Structure formats: structure tokens, C-alpha cells
Chains A and B, each alone.
Chain A
């Protein structure tokens, strides 16, 4: 099975000549500076936005309307303030009209996997930013989507919480046969999580290069000091320097 993605967005040329195939079960990161059209790419993939040329296929199915076969996580957790953590996850089942008993079991299991089992009945305002985002990830996974779309999900979190959530995410993903499309502008984060890193250049967004990350799974935090890991981050950093995205000196 393959996912083919061809898109071309006219006028503003947010994205140009994007041609990307994502393998089933793959963890792909889209890495690029702000304004390179990363989020646009995600919106196109979710079907929430229409491409102005080109087509998108998920599992050989052409996407031309909202694709409800996905899970989606934004930078902001977008939790519903009037629902407890558990109810926030269950909204996914309520909207999809799936049996609530089974959904509740799965929701509780997901909360356990991110160590939030004691916060089922807590309201979002009682949770920290990292906890809220974990609930939001659980919500995206409740219906076992084949494709998980994440738009800079850890961008608003502090460094330590970020490490924790990266590990949580990898644990959640390892069980399911799920494809993850992960947008970030953190080079180490992309390398740490991904099977492949897609480097995008700034406006108009184009795919600059695709790098395979050949690090064993499960990934451990200590791997970030591994020479191989360091070599990947250096390679990517140099790539952005040559693109003029990162500049050294004045």
C-alpha cells in the first residue's frame, strides 16, 4: 500500500510541485522554517483544504473532501473546556456514532499509556500544558486512525515536557500500524521521531530533500548523543544554512 501525494497550490504559491509518497506505517516528519507551507500540506492531506492543482491519494482513495479517516493534533490542544479529560477523548466516538462502551475502555487505556489515568475526571483548566496535549493526542488516536496528522504538536511546550511527550508519542505509535505525518521546525525532534525527514525550503514551499533516518527502534533519549544522530542533525542544520534559513555570524 502506498500513499501518493501530488499537490500544487496556485496564486500565493504556498506549495509548489510537491510530489511525495509515504509508506504505510511510516513516521514522516516535515521539517522546514515558518511559512514554508508545512501546515498547508497537512490541511491538504486532511482534506480540510482543497489543492489548487494535483491530487492526493490515501490508500488509493482520492481525497477531495474532509477526510474523516484520520486523527489530527494541532499545536494548540483544542480541548473542549466543558468536558473532562475522558469526555474530551470520547467526543471522537460520539461524533462518529461508535459504541461508547468500547470507546470508553480504549480511552482509559490510552490515558494509562500517557500516565494520565488519575486525571480522567479532571477538566482541561486543571491540567498543565503537557497534560492537555497528551489528552489531545489520545483523542486523535481513539478511533485507531490509519493516518495521524500532527501540526507542530509540541511547539508550545517546554523542553523537558517536550522530551516526555516525544517518548509518549513513540510508545503510542509503536502498537498500531499507523502512518504519522509530523510537522515540526525542530531538527533534533524530527530526527529523533522519524523514519524519514522531508526538508522543505521557504516560500514557495518545495521539497528540498528527503533523508532516511536509520536509527534503531525503540528510540531512547540517549540516542541523541549517538554519533549517527549527531551526524543527521548536523547534515540537516547545514542544509538549512545553505538554504539561507539559518545564518551564522552577522
Chain B
């Protein structure tokens, strides 16, 4: 019985992988690109308004070395900002969950801080931290730490009263209750927060580079835009998109290892 179930599962994942390659969405995308190409060729839209996909592809290849250099800067900002967001967000969530005082003194401010438009703060950060890496990382953290805090708090609070009673009935210490009951219980929710944070971290890095930078994909997009080099802009946007997707997939992959007992749920919730 178990062997059959295992076999079925393999067939199912196998067919899903196959379906991924031939998914209808991929065909839709290809169709759109083809229509775009034909439309541009037929209507002769000027290249500084809308270049054809083939033109963007050429630019992509020609500018690839610079895209890699600038892309790696952006990736660095995203990763450092993301790690700092976790290092700040998770302990803060634990504090808010365990301390009534912290919940009432800090939590409302964290939530309220989200109404502040981050893009509006970015010039301030440039004034404070200059044009280097720090202001970008700060913007990434400001955007990314919020979903991590909120989702970790929700996760830690999702332990049922019965579960905590059960722990107590075993003589569980606060430390054991946290590590053996509350934190594992919170993990699916923590990962939902992390996945949201990956998306926001990419946005944060690009926006920060818009405001003041001399390197990075956001910088490439701004500079190319000011010289009407739309193809180069598209090339940079494509790289940004790929970075965002790979980052998201990496976190999703990690989730499958850390929380194998839970079906991924946050992906389709956004």
C-alpha cells in the first residue's frame, strides 16, 4: 500500500514538473511576446517608445557584463537587508508575543509605521547615509521586516490553549515550550512572512537606487530612462524580475525542507 502511494506521489510530482514546462501560462507569455514583436514590426513604433522583444534581446546580450556587475550590487543589498530584517523581525515578534508591555508599547508603532511611505523617506536616508550601500539596506529593511514581524507574531500566537496546557501538564519549561511547541507551530506562518519579504526586499532595493545611487539595477533603469534607452531599461527590468523570482523560489525551497509537514500556502495568498 505504502509503496503504491509513494509511486503515485512520484508520478504526480513528475507530471507536475512536466506540466510546468508546458503550462498554459508559458504559452500565453510566448504568444504575448510574439504579438508584441509583430505589432512593433508592422506599426513601426519608434525604438525610443517601444522596442521589439528581439531588440531587447540584443541589448540584453550586448549589455550583459554590465548587467551582471550592477545586478550583483542589487543582489547584495537585497540579501543583506533581508538577513537584517530576519534578525530584527523575529526577535521583535518573540518579544511582542511574550511581553504584554511590549505588545502594547511597540506593536502599534510597528503597524502604524507602515503607513509612512518608504519612498518618501529614501531621500532623507541618502542625506544621512550617503550614496553607498547603507541607505539601500535601510530601505530594504524598512520594507521587508514588517511582514516578517507580523507573520511571526501571528504564528507564535497560533498555538492553541490546549497545546499550551498540554505542554504545562508535561512540566515543560518556558524555554521548552518555545522551542518544542510554539516555534515549530509558527514556522509555516514565518515562511509566509519571509516570502512576502522577498518581494518587498527587491522593491526596496530598486526604489532606493532610484533615489540616489551610482551603481545597481535601479541606477541602470534611471540612467537608461533619462537617455530614452528603453531596450536597456527592459533588459534591467528582466534581470530584476529574475532576481526576484529566484529569491522567492530559494525561500520556497528552504520552506520545503524546514516545514515539510505543511503544504505551502502563502504563495497563492498574495
Interface residues of A (CB under 8 A from B): 43, 46, 48, 66-68, 70-72, 74, 76, 78, 80-82, 91-92, 94-96, 123, 125
B185 surroundings in chain A (CB, below 8 A)? 80-82
Query: Pick the contact of B261 from A74, A95, A123 — CB < 8 Å?
Result: A123
Chain A to chain B: the 9 pairs with minimum beta-carbon distance, closest first: A68-B171, A95-B170, A66-B168, A72-B169, A74-B162, A82-B261, A78-B162, A95-B172, A82-B184
Q: Which of B149-191 contact A (CB under 8 A)?
A: 160, 162-163, 165-172, 176, 180-181, 184-185, 187
A48 x B169 contact (CB < 8 A): yes
A82 surroundings in chain B (CB, below 8 A)? 184-185, 187, 259, 261-262
Query: Pick the contact of B170 from A92, A123, A125 — CB < 8 Å?
Result: A92
B170 x A76 contact (CB < 8 A): no
How many Cβ-Cβ contacts under 8 Å join chain A to chain B?
Answer: 55
Once the chains are docked, how many angstroms separate the CA of A76 from the CA of B160? 10
A46 x B169 contact (CB < 8 A): yes
Interface residues on B, range: 20 to 34
CB within 8 Å for A48 and B165 given contacts A68-B171, A95-B170: yes
Q: Smallest CB–CB gap between B147 and chain A, Å? A: 22
Q: Which of B246-270 contact A (CB under 8 A)?
A: 259, 261-262
Considering only CB atoms, which chain A residue lies closest to B172 in the complex?
Answer: A95
CB within 8 Å for A76 and B162 given contacts A81-B262, A82-B259: yes
A-B contact pairs, 22 of them (CB 8 A): A46-B165, A46-B169, A48-B168, A66-B171, A68-B168, A68-B170, A68-B171, A70-B169, A71-B169, A72-B169, A74-B165, A74-B166, A78-B162, A80-B181, A81-B261, A81-B262, A82-B261, A94-B180, A95-B170, A95-B176, A95-B180, A123-B261
Once the chains are docked, how many angstroms separate the CA of A125 from the CA of B188? 15
Considering only CB atoms, which chain A residue lies closest to B164 in the complex?
Answer: A48
Residues of B contacting A: mostly: helix
Once the chains are docked, how many angstroms separate the CA of A74 from the CA of B167? 13
Considering only CB atoms, which chain B residue lies closest to A142 in the complex?
Answer: B170
B170 surroundings in chain A (CB, below 8 A)? 68, 91-92, 95-96
A95 surroundings in chain B (CB, below 8 A)? 167, 170-172, 176, 180
B169 x A80 contact (CB < 8 A): no
Once the chains are docked, how many angstroms separate the CA of A125 from the CA of B265? 15
B171 surroundings in chain A (CB, below 8 A)? 66, 68, 95-96
B261 surroundings in chain A (CB, below 8 A)? 81-82, 123, 125
Considering only CB atoms, which chain B residue lies closest to A43 in the complex?
Answer: B165
B162 surroundings in chain A (CB, below 8 A)? 74, 76, 78
Best-buried of A91, A95, A125 by chain B (most CB within 10 Å): A95
Q: Smallest CB–CB gap between A81 and chain B, Å? A: 5
Contact with A along B56-72 (1 / 0, CB 8 A): 00000000000000000
Contact with A along B130-143 (1 / 0, CB 8 A): 00000000000000
Q: Which of B165-219 contact A (CB under 8 A)?
A: 165-172, 176, 180-181, 184-185, 187
Considering only CB atoms, which chain B residue lies closest to A81 in the complex?
Answer: B261
B180 x A66 contact (CB < 8 A): no
Considering only CB atoms, which chain A residue lies closest to B167 in the complex?
Answer: A95
Query: Pick the contact of A78 from B160, B259, B262 — CB < 8 Å?
Result: B160
A123 surroundings in chain B (CB, below 8 A)? 261
Once the chains are docked, how many angstroms separate the CA of A82 from the CA of B163? 14
Considering only CB atoms, which chain B residue lies closest to A66 in the complex?
Answer: B168
Once the chains are docked, how many angstroms separate the CA of A66 from the CA of B170? 9
A72 x B165 contact (CB < 8 A): yes
Considering only CB atoms, which chain A residue lies closest to B177 in the complex?
Answer: A95
Extra inter-chain contacts (12) besides given A96-B171, A125-B261, CB under 8 Å: A66-B171, A68-B169, A71-B169, A74-B165, A74-B166, A78-B160, A80-B184, A81-B185, A82-B187, A94-B180, A95-B171, A95-B172
Once the chains are docked, how many angstroms separate the CA of A67 from the CA of B168? 8
Q: Smallest CB–CB gap between B164 and chain A, Å? A: 9
Q: Smallest CB–CB gap between A144 and chain B, Å? A: 14
Best-buried of B170, B176, B185, B187 by chain A (most CB within 10 Å): B170
B169 x A66 contact (CB < 8 A): yes
Q: Which of B62-108 contact A (CB under 8 A)?
A: none
A67 surroundings in chain B (CB, below 8 A)? 169
Once the chains are docked, how many angstroms separate the CA of A187 from the CA of B176? 39
Query: Pick the contact of A72 from B166, B180, B184 — CB < 8 Å?
Result: B166
